[in-house]
């Protein structure tokens, strides 16, 4: 990690001396892209990965494919002066080629904490020479994250709702978020408790595990259109229907990139989830 | 051609001539395909332009040089090696089992290799850091190769009694092994986190995108040995088509020949799966097409399979890296999309021939 930071700051320093207004940036990862557009550096972005879908104007940029399966020639073909990437961009073979081609590579650590989200905004600001705008955004996001944290902390331990984040219900199998997931993190940031404890990652649940979890609320991604299971389909799964959430038909749906992006909108997303859960505003 | 026809047994001569002509044709086609695969790609770099610059002594940009020397050329070489090894392995397996549907996938070699890779992706994080740093990106290929090799050895031990290998036992054991490795893979998939799952998915679809010189150098020795040995199995496989007893009467050392064939396939498939993941259909479609075109004589089939396998994989790779450029499709998807319908067509055509 230290080495990554060192190389990226070195690359940054080297690059800063030769910087011009014509920087061509390749943005890899949804939060990276969101930050670039939010600080007004969107016109420098020449290409993006397939996870970058917000704001809407990025859809017209060339898509170089999935973040973790980048092809070296595809990346080189967009002729970028600089690559700003989330931590899990890869594979290593591709990154080795890009290093050999001496394209500055700035790697952003995973933004699972408020501090990291804000730090990433500042890093992107420096790299793209939009320092002032990045500082303004960082302050704003910091305030939103702090507001969300205050709201979350105001919920007494006994009143915390148990939330189950369901990522899919294919074939009647409930796949839910355990620990070390974006779903778990955002539930905590909103002042609620993940109903699924003692499980690592996204896992299919047994009927008994669903009953034991006894969620008060189901949280799901809103993909729009007819892609999502309707409430009637969701609660056709018997053990789910028997939970408090099932009896109250308590389902919250939020846009996936907004809810789990952990970019500049993370504070707003956490606060919105908090307000939906506890009826505040 | 009319000369050949006028001979006694002209039919055999004609086939032989056709197969030899096909070999020359395929060799020329392979050279052209190799050149095309180096010339074209997602980036604007044109090999012709760079060659011109080089000849005129002009400066070649760093990116152009890297695209050619570190991306396209190793990828072309790896494509040739993997494509040839998949097709030749398929042809050897089909001859060995006397079953046109046999494939390294069928006897669990590919399953074992996949299991090795999956274990490495999911459990790689548990290795001592110093060891992991030392082995680096070689971990998954090395584990895949060990998995393929281990599966072959296990099969061979199960199927061999007093020096005699029962192909039927081996086929059944291969199915059992496939089920077992499938289940173990399932356990690993259950353990995997979100990111590892995505890696597994992409690995399973196969790709030459990670091609580089270290991978070429890792895979080349095993594949080259296997490809060099395979043509010498031609006469024996032809004899084996008449049955083991008949082959033994013709003076073929059946047991030794079977061992060599199995080792050849394990080496070639293990190395190919290790560097490129799961690429389907080439092992089964290419030998079929060749049998249709020039008959089942293994002396020609094995050589031609190597050439056509390399051509088909290079073409599939060119499609995979240009059709959605600057992104890239996993090559296994391309070979399956093309291979599936072609295979059906081959089956229908064969039926037509039989019905006639």
Q: What is the pLDDT, as a whole number, of residue B9?
A: 52
Sheet of A25-28, strand order: A45-48, A25-28, A82-86, A105-108
Count Cβ neighbours within 10 Å for each residue of B37-53 and write b for 16 or more, e otherwise. Answer: bbbebbbebebeebeee
Q: What is the pLDDT, as a whole number, of residue B17?
A: 87
Residue A261, pLDDT above cutoff 60: yes
- As a three-state string, the secondary structure of B288-323 is HHHHHHHCCCHHHHHHHHHHHHHHHHHHHHHHHHHC
Instruction: Kindly list the residues from chain B whose CB atom is less than 8 angstroms away from the CB atom of residue A64.
Output: 326-327
Q: What is the pLDDT, as a whole number, of residue B2?
A: 42
Most confident stretch, A175-179, B104-108, B156-160: A175-179
Q: What is the pLDDT, as a whole number, of residue A226?
A: 59
Report the gap between the CA of B325 and the closest CA in chain A (Å): 6
Instruction: Kindly list the residues from chain A whose CB atom is less than 8 angstroms away from the CB atom of residue B212.
Output: 93, 96-97
Task: For chain B, give every domain's residue range.
Answer: 2-104+208-350
Higher pLDDT, B150 or B34: B34
Cβ–Cβ gap A68/B72 under 8 Å: no
Give the mean model confidence (pLDDT) for residues B91-112. 82
Residue B88, pLDDT above cutoff 60: yes
Task: For residue B290, give Cα distances in angstroms to B225, B233, B309.
Answer: 23, 17, 10
Give the mean model confidence (pLDDT) for residues A194-223. 92
Which residue from B70, B190, B199 is facing A97, i.e. has the nearest CB?
Answer: B70
Higher pLDDT, A119 or B322: A119
Give the mean model confidence (pLDDT) for residues B222-235. 93
| A179 touching B (Cβ < 8 Å) | no
pLDDT in tens, B163-179: 677 778 888 888 888 88
Q: What is the pLDDT, as a whole number, of residue B194?
A: 73
Give the class (CATH, top level) of A157-278. alpha beta
**Which CATH architecture does the domain made up of A5-143 adopt?**
3-Layer(aba) Sandwich (3.40)
Interaxial angle between packed helices B139-159 and B167-191, expressed in degrees from 0 to 180 and rounded to the nearest 10? 140
Q: What is the mean pLDDT of chain B?
A: 84
Q: What is the pLDDT, as a whole number, of residue A22?
A: 57
pLDDT in tens, B235-288: 999 999 888 889 999 999 988 998 888 888 888 888 888 888 888 889 989 999
Which residue from A71, A76, A97 is facing B328, i.e. has the nearest CB?
Answer: A71
Interface test with A, best of B44, B66, B219 (most A CBs within 10 A): B66
pLDDT tier at B215 (50, 70, 90 boundaries)?
confident
User: Which single residue is written with the structure tokens 């006994």?
Assistant: A158
How many residues make up chain B in this entry? Answer: 356
Q: Does the domain spanning B2-104+208-350 belong to CATH 3.40.50.360?
A: no
pLDDT in tens, B302-355: 999 999 999 999 999 999 988 888 888 889 889 989 888 988 887 787 777 654
pLDDT in tens, A16-60: 444 454 589 999 999 999 999 999 999 999 999 999 999 999 999
Which of A46-50, A154-158, B184-188, B341-345 is least confident?
A: B184-188
pLDDT tier at A7 (50, 70, 90 boundaries)?
low
pLDDT tier at B6 (50, 70, 90 boundaries)?
very low
Cβ–Cβ gap B327/A102 under 8 Å: no
| A74 touching B (Cβ < 8 Å) | yes
All CATH 3.40.50.1980 domain ranges in chain A, comma separated: 5-143, 157-278
Higher pLDDT, B199 or A89: A89
What are the φ and ψ backbone dihedral angles of A202, each rounded to 5 degrees? -85, 125
Give the mean model confidence (pLDDT) for residues A101-128. 93
Residue B76, pLDDT above cutoff 80: yes
Residue A217, pLDDT above cutoff 60: yes
Cβ–Cβ gap B72/A201 under 8 Å: no
| Burial class of residue B240, CB neighbours in 10 A (0-12, 13-18, 19+) | buried
H helix runs in B56-103, sequence order:
62-66, 73-96
Compute the distance between CA of residue B164 and CA of residue A275 in angstroms, rounded to an integer.
74
ipTM of the complex, rounded to two decimals: 0.76
Residue A237 in contact with residue A174, Cβ under 8 Å?
A: yes
């Amino acid at each position: 990690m230290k080495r990554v930071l060192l190389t990226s700051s070195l690359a940054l320093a080297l690059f800063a001396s030769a910087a011009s207004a014509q920087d061509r940036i390749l943005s890899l990862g949804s939060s990276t892209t969101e930050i670039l557009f939010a600080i007004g550096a969107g016109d420098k972005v020449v290409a993006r990965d397939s996870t970058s879908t917000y704001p809407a104007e990025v859809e017209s940029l060339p898509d170089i494919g999935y973040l973790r399966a980048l092809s070296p020639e595809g990346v080189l073909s967009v002729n970028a002066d600089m690559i700003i990437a989330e931590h899990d961009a890869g594979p290593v073979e591709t990154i080795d080629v890009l290093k050999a081609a001496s394209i500055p590579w700035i790697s952003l650590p995973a933004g699972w904490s408020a501090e990291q989200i804000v730090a990433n905004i500042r890093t992107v600001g420096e790299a793209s020479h939009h320092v002032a705008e990045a500082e303004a955004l960082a302050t704003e996001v910091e305030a939103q994250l702090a507001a969300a944290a205050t709201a979350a902390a105001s919920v007494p331990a006994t009143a915390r709702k148990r939330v189950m984040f369901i990522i899919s219900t294919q074939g009647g199998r409930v796949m839910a978020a355990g620990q070390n997931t974006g779903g778990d993190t955002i539930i905590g940031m909103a002042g609620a408790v993940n109903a699924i404890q003692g499980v690592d990652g996204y896992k299919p649940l047994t009927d008994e595990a669903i009953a034991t979890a006894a969620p008060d609320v189901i949280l799901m991604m809103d993909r729009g259109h007819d892609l999502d299971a309707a409430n009637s389909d969701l609660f056709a799964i018997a053990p789910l229907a028997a939970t408090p959430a099932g009896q109250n038909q308590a389902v919250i749906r939020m846009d996936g990139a907004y809810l789990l992006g952990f970019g500049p909108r993370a504070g707003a997303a956490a606060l919105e989830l908090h307000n939906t859960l506890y009826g505040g505003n | 051609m009319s000369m050949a026809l006028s001979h006694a047994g002209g039919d055999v001569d004609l086939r032989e001539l056709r197969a030899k002509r096909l070999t020359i044709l395929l060799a020329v086609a392979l050279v052209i395909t190799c050149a095309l695969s180096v010339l074209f790609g997602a980036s604007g770099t044109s090999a012709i332009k760079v060659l011109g610059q080089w000849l005129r002594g002009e400066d070649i940009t760093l990116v152009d040089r890297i695209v050619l020397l570190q991306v396209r050329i190793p990828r072309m070489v790896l494509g040739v090696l993997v494509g040839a090894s998949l097709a030749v392995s398929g042809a050897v397996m089909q001859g060995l089992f006397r079953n046109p549907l046999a494939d390294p996938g069928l006897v669990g070699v590919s399953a074992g290799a996949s299991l090795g890779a999956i274990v490495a992706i999911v459990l790689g994080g548990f290795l001592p850091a110093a060891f992991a740093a030392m082995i680096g990106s070689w971990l998954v290929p090395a584990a895949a190769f060990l998995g393929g090799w281990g599966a072959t050895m296990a099969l061979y031990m199960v199927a061999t009694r007093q020096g005699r290998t029962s192909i039927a036992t081996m086929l059944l054991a291969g199915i059992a092994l496939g089920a077992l490795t499938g289940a173990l893979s399932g356990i690993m998939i259950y353990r995997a986190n979100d990111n590892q799952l995505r890696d597994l998915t992409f690995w399973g679809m196969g790709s030459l995108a990670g091609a580089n010189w270290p991978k070429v150098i890792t895979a080349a020795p095993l594949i080259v040995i296997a490809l060099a040995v395979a043509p010498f199995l031609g006469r024996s496989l032809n004899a084996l088509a008449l049955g083991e007893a008949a082959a033994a009467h013709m003076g073929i050392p059946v047991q030794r020949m079977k061992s060599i064939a199995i080792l050849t396939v394990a080496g070639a498939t293990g190395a190919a799966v290790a560097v490129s993941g799961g690429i389907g259909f080439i092992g089964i479609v290419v030998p079929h097409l060749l049998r249709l075109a020039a008959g089942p004589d293994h002396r020609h089939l094995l050589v031609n399979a190597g050439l056509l396998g390399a051509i088909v994989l290079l073409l599939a790779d060119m499609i995979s890296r240009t059709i959605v450029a600057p992104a890239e499709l996993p090559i296994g998807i391309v070979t399956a999309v093309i291979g599936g319908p072609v295979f059906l067509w081959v089956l229908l055509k064969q039926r037509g021939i039989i019905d006639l």
